Amino acid sequence: MSTRELPEGLAGTIVSQDARHYALATGWRRLDLPVRDSPGFFGRVAVYERPENGDEQVLIPLDERTSDYDVRMGEAAEAIARWEKRPVVQVANDLLYAASDMLRFRVASAVVEGGSLPLEDGLRLLDGVRTAILAAAHSVLSPARYHKRMSKGEAEQFLSACRMGQTERGSFVATVACPLRAVETDQALIDTNDDPFARKTTTLLMRSAAELVTAIESDRVREMVERNKQNPALSANLCDAIVRMKPSVDGSELTIGASWSKLRAAPTGLDVPRSVRIQQSYFAVIEDVYSELRPGADAEPDTFVGYVDTLDGEPGPGGQVEGDVVLRVAVDDEKLIRAKTTLDAAAHAIAVEAYRTQAIIRIDGVLTRGKRLGTIDSPANFQIIRQTNAATPPQ
């Protein structure tokens, strides 16, 4: 194992205090030695050893401004990685974010072994990651089978505090650091026995993903759906997020993993695993679970804003064009979905003008989602609310 396995400069960004906290939290014992210069180092070091094996030692540099800090911290990460039998990149990321829970979303297949993904898959993966974290945060705040609006303050604050880590190779791994002090209420809880909001969110995300996979593999999906209808823990939003992450390449799979900040005791119990593996064939089932948990969520009239995507009307009895149009409307966390509706002649004329100018429209109605195309029933108050003068439709 060599520091050459680390992206250039990564080790130099690790804070010495965070690395020392990590070492103590994972069982290394600091030797009671004077803080001093060490042979071969340009600055002072702290020395740690394993209580069960004094030959296993880690030297953590203390002076972050010395010229060899990057190299020496990389060597410290190597020593810890050898002991933990983990890739040095993972350990370095954990040292970098010692005060954070780390979530890893790994896409694996023969096609992505080089560490890259098709662009569209990469964009969908990151969109799904964002939605998954936001959905889990809202389920912590207010358990529900479906969150119609994911805009609660604490959840948004938590999401804003999360950071993308270094992408790891050997497949494609998107890493997200979730700081334990992400929201204001966590400041007071960090030194108590109560889990901070960040830990509750990462724990719920892993527990819910595991519940999905366990139900699929034990042929108890229907039982799980009915349970979540009565006592919601898994939300339709999280199912939607996982489906968004589906790789397009045949034979691919998604693994969601977590490594818990060593500054706080890790969750216990078999229902909170360190990783959950989602095979490609599982995504169709998860999409069905999403549909099962959503019924009734769109059953009430609502107002939607968006654009006219396509026009499919025909002349009616009076000779004026009326009929179907397909809209692209914003729902949930501002995601745009396609939905068909049927307009009378007056509203259809407005739709034609909106399509021609790419204006922003609004419409009242009852949305029912579909796998590829939803419908808006009982349309009313269709109108243009803003001209964009865009040359091409928004994507």
Q: Is the pLDDT of residue 3 over 70?
A: no
State how far the Cα of 373 lies from the Cα of 2, in Å rounded to an integer: 51
Q: Name the packing angle between helices 221-230 and 197-217 (round to 10°).
A: 140
Residue 105's region, left for phi above 0, alpha for psi from -120 to 50, else beta, is: beta
pLDDT of residue 41: 58
3-state SS of 220-280 is CHHHHHHHHHHCCCCCHHHHHHHHHCCCCCCCCEEEEEEECCCCCCCCCCCCCCCEEEEEC
Nearest to 19 by CA among 66, 65, 76: 76
Domain positions in the chain are: 3-96, 100-293, 302-386
The predicted pLDDT at position 344 comes to 93
pLDDT digit string (tens) for 330-339? Answer: 886 557 889 9
| Contact assessment for residue 324 and residue 341, using Cβ atoms and an 8 Å cutoff | yes
Instruction: Check whether 313 has a pLDDT greater than 60.
Output: yes
Note the pLDDT of residue 306: 93
Higher-pLDDT residue of 380 and 393 is: 380
DSSP secondary structure of 181-229? T-SHHHHHHTTSSSPPHHHHHHHHHHHHHHHHHHHHHTT-HHHHHHHHH
Summarize pLDDT for 24-68 with one digit per residue, the tens.
988 999 998 766 555 555 678 899 999 999 889 999 999 888 888
Euclidean distance between CA atoms 369 and 360, whole angstroms: 21
Q: What percent of the chain has pLDDT over 90?
A: 50
Residue 395 has pLDDT above 50, yes or no: no
For the record, the structure tokens of 258 come out as 């977590």
Comparing 10 with 390, which gets the higher pLDDT? 10
| Angle made by CA atoms 311, 314, 320, in degrees to the nearest 5 | 105
What average pLDDT does this structure show over 242-249?
Answer: 90
Give the CA distances from residue 69 to residues 19, 41, 60, 76, 206, in Å, rounded to whole numbers and listed in that order: 13, 9, 9, 10, 36
Give the pLDDT mean for 213-239.
Answer: 92
393 pLDDT tier (thresholds 50, 70, 90): very low
| For residue 325, pLDDT beyond 70 | yes
Closest CA to 87 of 6, 184, 9, 206: 6
Flag whether pLDDT at 390 surpasses 80: no
For the chain, what is the mean pLDDT? 85
Q: What is the pLDDT of residue 4?
A: 59
CATH code of the region 302-386: 2.40.50
Distance CA 121, CA 168 (A): 16
Share of the chain above pLDDT 70, in %: 87
- Give the whole-angstrom CA distance, residue 238 versus residue 248: 19
Query: Which tens digits make up the pLDDT trace of 180-203?
Result: 888 866 654 445 567 899 999 999
- pLDDT band per the 50, 70, 90 thresholds, residue 245: very high
**Can you give the pTM of this predicted structure?**
0.67
Which pLDDT value is given to residue 40?
58
- Residue 128 and residue 102: Cα distance in Å, rounded? 16
Q: State pLDDT tens for residues 79-102.
A: 999 999 988 888 888 898 888 999
Confidence check: pLDDT of 391 > 50: no
pLDDT at 394 over 80: no
Q: Write the DSSP assignment of 269-328 as a string of letters.
A: STTS-SEEEEETTHHHHHHHHHHHH-TTTT-S-EEEEEEEEEEEEEE-TTS-EEEEEEEE
- In this prediction, residue 295 has a pLDDT band, given cuts at 50, 70 and 90, of low
DSSP annotation of 159: H
**pLDDT reported for residue 368:** 80
Mean pLDDT of 304-317: 90
Rounded CA-CA distance 145/167 in Å is 32
Give the whole-angstrom CA distance, residue 236 versus residue 113. Answer: 31
Q: Quickly list DSSP for 58-81.
A: EEEE--TTSTTHHHHHHHHHHHHH
Contact yes or no for 377/365 (Cβ under 8 A)? yes
Q: Could you tell me the pLDDT band of residue 288, with boundaries at 50, 70 and 90?
A: very high
pLDDT recorded at residue 2: 47
**Dihedral over alpha carbons 252, 106, 234, 213 (to 10 degrees):** 50
